[in-house]
């Protein structure tokens, strides 16, 4: 079984809809991250969380919110989706001891029409 899972893997939605992307991990890591990937732009950090009570904004948090429901779960929400949020979204985890290595989920491809 994969250590970091994301659901859904693909989603098509309409402008203005609320969308939630979910991430679960079995690695026992405290640190979790949400990134978006756009062609030619690499990965940009949206939000990150160092434990259940510690959530921080990344580079591009506007239009997004997150919830850390448990150590193993970190959800990303788009309150009112817009077309320029069409992208590939990745969740990642790392442990406290070695922040260098992040473990990524398989990604969620989101299309906003």
Interface with other proteins by CB under 8 A: which residues?
4, 33, 40-45, 48, 50, 56, 58, 90, 92, 99-107
List CB contacts of 54: < 8 A, sequence separation 6 or more.
none
CB of residue 35 to other proteins, shortest distance in Å: 8
The token pair at 55 is: 């959530």
Which residue, 12 or 79, has its beta carbon nearer to other proteins? 12
The token pair at 64 is: 């997004």
Which residue, 4 or 112, has its beta carbon nearer to other proteins? 4
CB of residue 109 to other proteins, shortest distance in Å: 10
CA 65 – CA 4 distance, rounded (Å): 20
The token pair at 67 is: 């919830």
């Amino acid at each position: 079984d994969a250590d970091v899972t994301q659901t859904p893997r693909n989603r098509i939605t309409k402008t203005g809809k609320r969308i939630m992307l979910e991430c679960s991990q079995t690695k026992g890591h405290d640190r979790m991250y949400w990134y978006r990937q756009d062609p030619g732009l690499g990965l940009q950090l949206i939000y990150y969380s160092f434990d259940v009570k510690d959530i921080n904004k990344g580079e591009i948090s506007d239009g997004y919110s997150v919830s850390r429901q448990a150590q193993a779960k970190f959800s990303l929400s788009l309150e009112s989706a817009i077309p320029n949020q069409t992208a590939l979204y990745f969740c990642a985890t790392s442990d406290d001891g070695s922040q260098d290595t992040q473990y990524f989920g398989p990604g969620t491809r989101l299309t906003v029409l």
